[in-house]
Amino acid sequence: MPEQAYAPEDLTPDGYARTTPSQVIDVRETGLRETNRILQESDGTGRYLLTEPRGAHALAVGLDHPDEIVIDGPTGYYTAGMNDGAHVTVNGNVGVGVAENMMSGTVRVTGSASQSAGATAHGGLLVISGDAGARCGISMKGVDIVVGGSIGHMSCFMGQAGRLVVLGDAGDALGDSLYEVHIYVRGRVESLGADCVEKEMRPEHHTELGELLDRAGVTGVTTGEFRRYGSARTLYSFDVDNASAY
Amino acid sequence: MPFDGHIRSDQATHAQIPAGVDDPTLRESATFPRSVIHEIQRAAATGIYDIRGWGAKRKVPHFDDLLFLGASMSRYPLEGYRERCDTDITLGTRHASKPVHLDIPVTIAGMSFGALSAQAKEALGRGASAAGTSTTTGDGGMTAEERGQSSTLVYQYLPSRYGMNPVDLRKADAIEVVLGQGAKPGGGGMLLGQKISDRVAQMRTLPKGIDQRSACRHPDWTGPDDLTIKILELREITGWEKPVYVKVGATRTYYDVKLAVKAGADVVVVDGMQGGTAATQDVFIEHVGIPTLAAIPQAVQALQEMDMHRKVQLVVSGGIRSGADVAKAMALGADAVAIGTAALIALGDNDPRYEQEYRALGSAAGFYDDFQDGRDPAGISTQDPELARRLDPEAAGRRLANYLHVLTMEAQTIARACGKSHLTHLEPDDLVALTMEAAAMARVPLAGTDWIPGRAGREM
């Protein structure tokens, strides 16, 4: 648990008036399979508080209804994997692959995330208040990711679609082999990967970024503090003269 | 073809033989035969490696190098047309609550929509369903055509995750986590721009018409310990119903199979180097991986040492062509086989009726392997609507079903001759090898001897 543990009532996923949970599940007592089964069979109106996650892997995965789930404590790999509509908040840190292949919904992490956060996700919103490790947004396919802290190396590798917003710094080889993701970074970029270039912030990008920051609940920053990065599209078709770029 | 320095790479590998080659005064080099000279010329002209489809074309020790010992005095054969020889198999008995039950042990290997036309995918589904077996998606997501026409569909979970979504995952009958394939172990998918149609681009979330070089590593795990957790996640998402296969290209097969079992696989799929691809560098296809024949005994040994043989099922692919190949793979310890290239040929790939068109592409019926170009006259490895329309999914599906029935009947013929009432009862003792290489790889004795290279002789 992070020192600054938030009470679930303090967390406000977009569009939801937070009320007390309708069901409290002790993950350690209930077990992973039963916990996931309860969540997967919920009708979309549930408000669940999951206690004692104790770093459990594959917790709250495969959810396809707009229930609200607050996980009070740190989780392991693939938290909220393949989420398709649920609103999941982790009150703590998460392991590898949080919200991997998310289709829709919201996943919020109050702490930091390990590697491959939001990997291959097709939609929805992933908000990480702390830092994210290497390969954040790898092969992302339409998801929006907002990271309050910094991200590690090889982030957005082969990113296909969606938006990645970083309030802190980005590690080496940002956006390597990038397709069509829009990347916005407020801090320093260690280096850009192959075919990733800085691009002009035009008015529509300020608008797009502003909306993302609003949806993520980020305040106190302006879009003018960010730089935009995208694909130079020179590697879209193989050209032998570009062979050294790979 | 005269060498003008501007040959197209797809034509370059099929140059016509120049006049005068029968001249006994001309001596061809064994080290630099015409094909090698031609490839050097092609590389020098274009500056890029040769990309093609199909699997390894080089000759490697294979099932042809094995023979069965039919029953006579010491073994008791079964009557060919009277006594039963069953062929059904169940895959995924280890953890899945809904294992896959198939009427025949010949499955259809993963081939993507994108690499293949929608008509070809539908035909594969129709043929497999008619024969009572499964078909498999590929690196491009699940199409409605193949789900609709496939009674049993295996959904591949690939590094690219194109089109991956939980709805299709739950529609699948099994999940195949793909770590590699025999044509290119260690390589990712490749689909060149000419095959990225609107529909393919939309399914893969990619711009239309770009050259697509997919990832070779999964994006959210790095090793077998992580894979254990990934398999847990897939099971949790699908309620522990579906078998989880792990597919590897044949390389360090003994270790890979052990790690796959340790990671929780219900089924291990081992694809030898003769296994096909839609597009990869020729150098990769020909020089990476080991023959199917060499991989099977390694896989079986790994399973036996873990007391998992027949508990975790083994599916073998890469160069399966006949019922004899099916029977030999199963005798060596496989629970089932998968076919890819042979299935495409059954659909109509390389059909002589398109000879003139293959010639126009610089190839010939029986040689066409430029699947990456998307100009397949047979309408199979293409996204061109005009070409794809040539393939009638119903008729092609019937041809595939016919072929699957022949494979099965041939395997039964051999099994009965060996006295076996089920194809899975075939065993290594039913086999001998014709060559020392095959004896060493398959770990069966050289025909007429008790000698397995690397092992002490046994008492006769």
DSSP A145-166: EEESS-B-TTTTTT--EEEEEE
Residue pair B124/B146 in contact (Cβ under 8 Å)? The answer is: yes
The pLDDT value recorded for residue A3 is 35
- Partner residue opposite A81 with nearest CB, options B48, B237, B239: B237
Q: Is the per-residue pLDDT at B431 higher than 80?
A: yes
Residue pair B235/B199 in contact (Cβ under 8 Å)? The answer is: no
Residue pair B347/B391 in contact (Cβ under 8 Å)? The answer is: yes
Task: Band the pLDDT of B3: cuts 50, 70, 90.
Answer: very low
Asked if B219 and A33 come within 8 Å (Cβ–Cβ), the reply is: no
Q: What is the mean pLDDT of residues B247-271?
A: 98
The pLDDT value recorded for residue B193 is 83
What number is the ipTM of this complex?
Answer: 0.92
* CA-to-CA separations, B261 to B96, B185, B195, B335, in angstroms, rounded: 14, 19, 36, 15
Asked if A139 and B193 come within 8 Å (Cβ–Cβ), the reply is: no
Residue in A174, A186, A146 with CA at minimum distance from that of residue A162: A146
pLDDT, tens digit (0-9, with 9 covering 90-100), for B95-138: 999 999 999 999 999 999 999 999 999 999 999 999 999 999 99
Tokens of B291: 């023959």
The pLDDT value recorded for residue A43 is 94
Which residues are registered as beta bridge partners of A118?
A: none
Q: What is the mean pLDDT of residues B264-277?
A: 97
Lookup result for tokens 């005009």: B386
Residue in B174, B178, B177 with CA at minimum distance from that of residue B96: B174
Q: Is the per-residue pLDDT at B355 higher than 60?
A: yes
The whole-chain average pLDDT of chain B stands at 93
Task: Band the pLDDT of B17: cuts 50, 70, 90.
Answer: low
Q: Is the per-residue pLDDT at B82 higher than 50?
A: yes
- Partner residue opposite A158 with nearest CB, options B193, B215, B236: B215
Q: How far is B447 from chain A (nearest CA, A)?
A: 50
> What is the Cα B388 distance to its own chain's centre?
22
> Mean pLDDT highest for which of A191-205, B1-15, B210-224?
A191-205
The pLDDT value recorded for residue B214 is 85
The pLDDT value recorded for residue B20 is 55
Cα separation, B366 vs B91, whole angstroms: 34
Q: What is the mean pLDDT of residues A138-161?
A: 98
The pLDDT value recorded for residue A27 is 98
- Hey, which residues 187-226 in chain A have their CB within 8 Å of chain B? none
B233 in A contact zone (CB under 8 Å): yes
A114 in B contact zone (CB under 8 Å): no
The runs of H, that is alpha helices, within B313-435 are: 323-331, 341-347, 355-360, 385-388, 393-417
Lookup result for tokens 């991989």: B295
Q: Is the per-residue pLDDT at B337 higher than 70?
A: yes
The pLDDT value recorded for residue A17 is 41
Cα separation, B150 vs B130, whole angstroms: 9
Beta strand ranges found along B181-236 (DSSP E): 190-191, 212-213
Torsion from C-alpha of B44, B46, B47, B53, nearest 10 degrees: -110
Q: Is the per-residue pLDDT at A6 higher than 50?
A: no
Give the SS3 label for residue B395.
Answer: helix
Q: Is the per-residue pLDDT at A235 higher than 80?
A: yes
Tokens of B449: 């001897």
Least confident window among B207-216, B332-341, B350-359: B207-216
In the sheet where A23-26 sits, what is the strand order?
A23-26, A47-51, A68-72, A84-90, A104-109, A125-128, A141-147, A161-166, A182-185, A227-231, A196-199
Q: How far is A161 from chain B (nearest CA, A)?
A: 7
The pLDDT value recorded for residue B13 is 46
Q: Which residues of B touch A139 (CB under 8 A)?
A: 160-161, 215, 219
The pLDDT value recorded for residue B19 is 52
pLDDT, tens digit (0-9, with 9 covering 90-100), for B179-193: 999 999 999 877 888
- Hey, which residues 47-86 in chain A have their CB within 8 Å of chain B? 57-58, 61-62, 64, 76-78, 81-82, 84
Q: What is the mean pLDDT of residues B396-410?
A: 98
B68 in A contact zone (CB under 8 Å): no
Q: How far is A30 from chain B (nearest CA, A)?
A: 15
Cα separation, B350 vs B316, whole angstroms: 24
A142 in B contact zone (CB under 8 Å): yes
User: Which of B46, B155, B220, B228 to probe the A interface (max A CBs under 10 A)?
Assistant: B220
The pLDDT value recorded for residue B18 is 55
Residue pair B262/B228 in contact (Cβ under 8 Å)? The answer is: yes
Asked if B220 and A158 come within 8 Å (Cβ–Cβ), the reply is: no
Q: Residue A31: which residues within 8 A CB-CB, separation 6 or more?
A: none
The whole-chain average pLDDT of chain A stands at 92
Residue pair A48/A65 in contact (Cβ under 8 Å)? The answer is: no
Q: Is the per-residue pLDDT at A94 higher than 80?
A: yes
Q: Residue A43: which residues within 8 A CB-CB, separation 6 or more?
A: A65, A67
Residue in B246, B281, B238, B249 with CA at minimum distance from that of residue B263: B246
Write the DSSP symbol of residue A177.
T
Radius of gyration of chain B (CA): 22
Least confident window among A41-45, B188-192, B343-347: B188-192
Residue pair B328/B66 in contact (Cβ under 8 Å)? The answer is: yes
Residue pair B261/B303 in contact (Cβ under 8 Å)? The answer is: yes
Q: What is the mean pLDDT of residues A107-119?
A: 98
Asked if A96 and B219 come within 8 Å (Cβ–Cβ), the reply is: no
Radius of gyration of chain A (CA): 18
Tokens of B126: 């129709």
Residue pair B87/B133 in contact (Cβ under 8 Å)? The answer is: no
The pLDDT value recorded for residue B136 is 97
Q: Is the per-residue pLDDT at A2 higher than 70?
A: no
Q: What is the mean pLDDT of residues B354-372?
A: 96
- Residue of chain B with shortest Cα separation from A137: B219
The pLDDT value recorded for residue B7 is 40
B230 in A contact zone (CB under 8 Å): yes
